[in-house]
Structure 1
Amino acid sequence: MRVLIDATAVPADRGGVGRYVDELVPQLDALGADLVLAVQARDVGHYGALAPHGRVVAAPAVAARRPVRLAWEQTGLPALARRVRADVLHCPHYTMPALAPVPVVVTLHDATFFTDPDLHLPTKARFFRAATRLATRRAAGLVVPSRATRDEVVREAGADPERFTVAYHGVDASRFHPTSAAEQQRVRATLGIGDLPYVAFLGTLEPRKNVPALVRGWVRACAELDEPPALVLAGGRGWDDDVDAALAAVPDHLVVRRTGYLPLEDLAGLLGGALAVAYPSLGEGFGLPVLEAMACGAPTLTTRALSLPEVGGDAVAYCGTSAESIADGLVGLCASPARRSELSAAAVRRAATFTWERAAREHLGAYERAAAR
């Protein structure tokens, strides 16, 4: 069975869908899948290395512009599927051709475009609701990263539950693992925080990540701690205008570092060296930063929104989404070395059960079922 994967939606910064596709492809290749990868011209060498047994085809250079890429998806992608004699087409980021010559599998990462539209830009929410509805009507198979996402899409878009495959993301243990004191100190030096303990956040600074409440909760927690930790916000700038206002109100004696994107090679040291990792999200399709923090042995505080308990299980601490609840959760972790040690050990054990090989096998099953339909 030949599978054409449309990787043209992968952004240059490798966030979100890029991390998913980049981890999935080599595992599919290692399992012997017959892969053809449609990619942006800049990614030909990258995916050639990730899938040495597959075939890589570059989309037209103009498809690097999003409107053109979406147009190419409707016309050029079906033509490519015919040309390479694909048996299944996998579209890994919500959208798909309205008319395709082969069965299509679509990955739907999130349902908050329906359940919490105010957490997204209005145009983005409308676009992805429409794309999700098209996929639930036309796709032969739907892949989601959690049961919570499946249940939300079924409820909100009227999708057939039988067409879903739940494929949890994995974690790259070669990159995310407990780190040495020397590695943690190296990352500390890049952050400019010396030997200060710190609370870390990793993710795009967008409304659903609830960063303003985290900032306010951290400030409240610091008032109760003898040695106030710094706060490190790592991730790209989103469209949450309230973050700046929350940071402006931080007392001068407290230390905040807003790093922007960090290199992948720094993330394990950042997460593993944290006194605690806080991820008080309002809702996630999966919650990969929580899993990555767990794999690094970080005591992690998150919420019970949507998929996050499926990831964290009993290996993380939970809080509500308000600043007060976040503060209580942070105090509970920061003031208790025993609790942090207990969660750290449990997190490493649980994270080891989430593998990209297992995710790839689930995807192969989705392709086979789609082809059979």
Structure 2
Amino acid sequence: MKLLVNAESLSPPLTGIGNYTFNLLSALQKMPEIEQIDCFSGYAFSPSQNAIANCLNTSATRHHSANPTAGATVANRLRSRLRQSALAYRAREAFRNGALSIGTRRRAGFIYHEPSFILKAHRGPCVATIHDLSFIRYPEFHPPKRVEWLTRQLPRTLERADAIITDSEYIRQELIQTYHVDPSMVSAIHLGASDFYRPQHSQLAQTTLDRFGLRYGEYLLFVGTLEPRKGIEILLDAWSSLPPATRQAYPLVLAGAPGWNNKLLQARIQSMTTHGLKHLSFVPEHSLPALYSGAALFAFPSLYEGFGLPLLEAMSCGAPTICTADTSMAEFTDGASCLFNRGDSSQLAERIHYLLEHPGERRTLAKKGQLHSRQFSWDRCARNTYNVYAGLQP
């Protein structure tokens, strides 16, 4: 079997789709049944080993480099504005489709996997991963041009695809009901957590936590992109309503890069940093196991997720967790995470306060979560994905 995978998302710092692409590629490479994996980066083709190595090298360079220069900051802002332009969307996709079309003439027998929603031109079998339908459920949480683009392009992808993958059964059902897709075409394949995410004892983790001014077991944690869809306002409301003594004993720690349309959220976070909240911004992956392991409680109040990878990572590191009911997160945690009703900050506060005041309950929840998390791995995700590919072969 030969694969062609779009690797445009492997641009550090990796977030949702980038993490999915990186870990899936890494696991697929180890499978003897797969003869070759080529990656498309938007303008050129390369073996998957090169794409992964380039991603790792770029991540290392970013980590060891100094603060960005003024020129780099201006360039980043310009790129961000261009991404929101309808003309930029069309021009970029036309260019990439042209480049891919030329390259796939020599790869007609390859199975093309698009890990980021929208299929490009390819003459062979095509698989697309649809991570979520948040642009339909919560369009206000996305740039309007992105909503317009996905709304127009996704039906075309669903018509062309030979198989569809979703990150959860929750999204699978939503896709089938919304677009009337043939259920036999759609496979729900849960994501995984790397072996890198394992519990760290207090002495080992504290070395990392010292850099952030934190004490092991003495903080409430959120990890994820800081944007409205993640329910951070709900978490801020809940934490603010806790008794002062509880807030003092367990400061709220937010770790994540800024997302779209978050100016008001960022202003509120900044105003609360003088009242016990700690904002760590983006935290490199090598520091996350210590951060997860040291949390008294990990809260993930997202309104909507295709899966919710930080939640699984926290469970794998032995952190007791709380997340939103009636979501894909509740699906995969399957009773191993405390639940609260979507958007209900009062109930979230009650759950947080109870767990912080009852360490025995937290330990029980943490053990349950860690045990449950062992069912999920990137090797398992890759094997199930391979089975989808295999079903497309003659």
* TM, length-normalised to structure 2: 0.84
**In 2, Cα distance between the equivalents of 1:343 and 1:199?**
15
**1:136/1:46 Cα in 2 relative to 1: closer, same or farther (>3 Å)?**
closer
Q: Which amino acid aligns with 1:240?
A: N
**In 1, Cα distance between the equivalents of 2:210 and 2:243?**
23
In structure 1, the partner of 2:74 is none
1:96 is aligned, of 85, 99, 119, to 119
1:121 is aligned, of 143, 168, 174, to 143
What's the secondary structure of 2:99's corresponding residue?
Answer: helix
CA contact (8 A) 1:94 1:131 kept: no
In structure 1, the partner of 2:366 is 344
In structure 1, the partner of 2:38 is 36
- Once the 2 structures are TM-superposed, how far is the Cα of residue 309 of structure 1 from its aligned partner? 1.1
1:152 is aligned, of 171, 174, 179, to 174
- Once the 2 structures are TM-superposed, how far is the Cα of residue 255 of structure 1 from its aligned partner? 1.3
Q: Structure 1 residues 129-138 or 36-45, which shifts more?
A: 36-45
Identity fraction in percent: 27
**In 2, Cα distance between the equivalents of 1:26 and 1:100?**
23
1:11-30 mapped onto 2 (5 Å cutoff) = 11-30=11-30
**In 2, Cα distance between the equivalents of 1:143 and 1:326?**
32
What's the secondary structure of 1:83's corresponding residue?
Answer: coil
In structure 1, the partner of 2:75 is none
CA contact (8 A) 1:4 1:38 kept: yes
Q: Which amino acid aligns with 1:186?
A: T
In structure 2, the partner of 1:356 is 378
**1:355/1:326 Cα in 2 relative to 1: closer, same or farther (>3 Å)?**
same
CA contact (8 A) 1:81 1:89 kept: no
**1:144/1:186 Cα in 2 relative to 1: closer, same or farther (>3 Å)?**
same
**1:158/1:333 Cα in 2 relative to 1: closer, same or farther (>3 Å)?**
same
1:1-373 mapped onto 2 (5 Å cutoff) = 1-32=1-32, 33-34=34-35, 35-39=37-41, 47-48=49-50, 50=52, 67=88, 69-97=92-120, 99-173=121-195, 175-194=196-215, 197-223=218-244, 225=246, 228-238=249-259, 239-247=261-269, 250=272, 252=274, 254-320=275-341, 321-372=343-394
**In 1, Cα distance between the equivalents of 2:383 and 2:15?**
23
**1:251/1:203 Cα in 2 relative to 1: closer, same or farther (>3 Å)?**
closer
What's the secondary structure of 1:95's corresponding residue?
Answer: coil
C-alpha offsets along residues 55-91 of structure 1, whole Å, 9 cap, x if unaligned? xxxxxxxxx9975652243222132222134331111
C-alpha offsets along residues 138-190 of structure 1, whole Å, 9 cap, x if unaligned? 111111110011111112222221111111101102x1110121232122212
What's the secondary structure of 1:106's corresponding residue?
Answer: strand
* TM, length-normalised to structure 1: 0.88
CA contact (8 A) 1:281 1:305 kept: no
The count of corresponding residues between Structure 1 and Structure 2 is: 358
C-alpha offsets along residues 184-210 of structure 1, whole Å, 9 cap, x if unaligned? 212221212356811010000111101
CA contact (8 A) 1:120 1:207 kept: no
CA contact (8 A) 2:6 2:40 kept: yes
- Once the 2 structures are TM-superposed, how far is the Cα of residue 297 of structure 1 from its aligned partner? 0.5
Instruction: Specify every segment of 5 or more residues in structure 2 that has no aligned partner in the other structure, as ranges.
Output: 54-78
The runs of 4+ residues in structure 1 deviating greater than 4 Å are 40-46, 64-69
**1:28/1:248 Cα in 2 relative to 1: closer, same or farther (>3 Å)?**
closer
- Structure 1 vs Structure 2 CA RMSD: 2.6
Q: Which amino acid aligns with 2:104?
A: A
**1:40/1:179 Cα in 2 relative to 1: closer, same or farther (>3 Å)?**
farther
- Once the 2 structures are TM-superposed, how far is the Cα of residue 362 of structure 1 from its aligned partner? 1.2
Q: Structure 1 residues 275-284 or 360-369, which shifts more?
A: 360-369
Q: Structure 1 residues 68-77 or 323-332, which shifts more?
A: 68-77
Q: Structure 1 residues 320-329 or 282-291, which shifts more?
A: 320-329
Q: Which amino acid aligns with 2:210?
A: A
- Once the 2 structures are TM-superposed, how far is the Cα of residue 106 of structure 1 from its aligned partner? 0.6
CA contact (8 A) 1:146 1:166 kept: yes
CA contact (8 A) 1:89 1:105 kept: yes
